[in-house]
Amino acid sequence: MSTDTKDFLYRRPREKWLMYALLFIMAALWALPLIAAVVRGFAFNGIQNFTDVIFDDIGGISLGRTYFNSFVIAIMHALLVVIVSALAGYGFYIFEFKFKTVAYFVVLVFLAVPATSILVPLFFITRELGLRDSYLAVALPEAALTLPFGVLLVRNFAEEIPRSLIEAAAMDGAEHPRIWREIFVPICKPALINIGALSMMWSMQDFLFPSLFFSSSEMTTAAQAVLRFREYLGATPDDIGRYNASLVLLAVPALLIVLFGLRFITNGLTSGGVKE
């Protein structure tokens, strides 16, 4: 065995443990605010802080209602993005048409459009359509901003599908709707679950659009509730404990979505990155 090979084998375990130590430090820094919120959530009244937040309305806002509002918007957002991304990804993969490359790059350009740049037209369009204080008022613009990323992800994933598989289905008489439904969608399942999980996670964290389009306390989302609860909970020791308990409980849905979709998120983001 050469000296260079021995040096590489000896150096590799050290590099591995160094990487583990770095990841542990980063994880600890990320988890520190959550740990602090949990500890402060038990301050003074212990578990009673959490039960109060769960069962009692705070300033007329119910924690369960905020969960419901957030989940409805997140599911609508995810469904729109997944369905349209799957259709667009199939179109860019299967069909050849004039200016196809230009159309794809136009879609990618919209990745750079910030939400703040379209707030004024969105506000007037939503008002004219009578969608204020409705779930669609938030789900539609969220989906519009997420769609370019979804199309990019599905289209890159679709590049790994063998053309012979689609051609064989077409030779057997399968039409495009059937090919899309029975071949394309099942194969692209990891990418679609990935974009669905990300869409739900981003929607659960969205504070801007609900604040713009919702005026009723009944429509308060989990992201908004963080600020609303802070307004109604004062600086007394009991309120501080309840407020931190609310922060922990409001973070639970998004955390569960991330844990559920973590494997698909990793696979989806790396799909299409390596071509054989």
pLDDT digit string (tens) for 107-161? 888 888 888 888 899 989 998 999 989 999 999 999 999 999 999 999 988 888 8
Torsion of the alpha carbons at 74, 79, 85 and 91, rounded to the nearest 10: -170
User: What is the pLDDT, as a whole number, of residue 275?
Assistant: 43
Q: What pLDDT shows up at residue 81?
A: 96
Q: What is the pLDDT of residue 1?
A: 52
Mean per-residue pLDDT, 30-34: 80
**pLDDT tops 70 at residue 274:** no
The predicted pLDDT at position 11 comes to: 53
Question: How far out from the chain centre does Cα 226 lie?
Answer: 19
Q: What is the pLDDT of residue 232?
A: 80
Q: What is the pLDDT of residues 172-230, one digit of tens each?
A: 888 999 999 999 999 998 889 889 988 998 898 899 999 999 988 899 998 888 888 88
pLDDT score of 3 more than 80: no
Question: Residues 66-74: what's their mean pLDDT?
Answer: 94
Tell which residue, 124, 131, 267, 146, has the closest CA to residue 203.
146
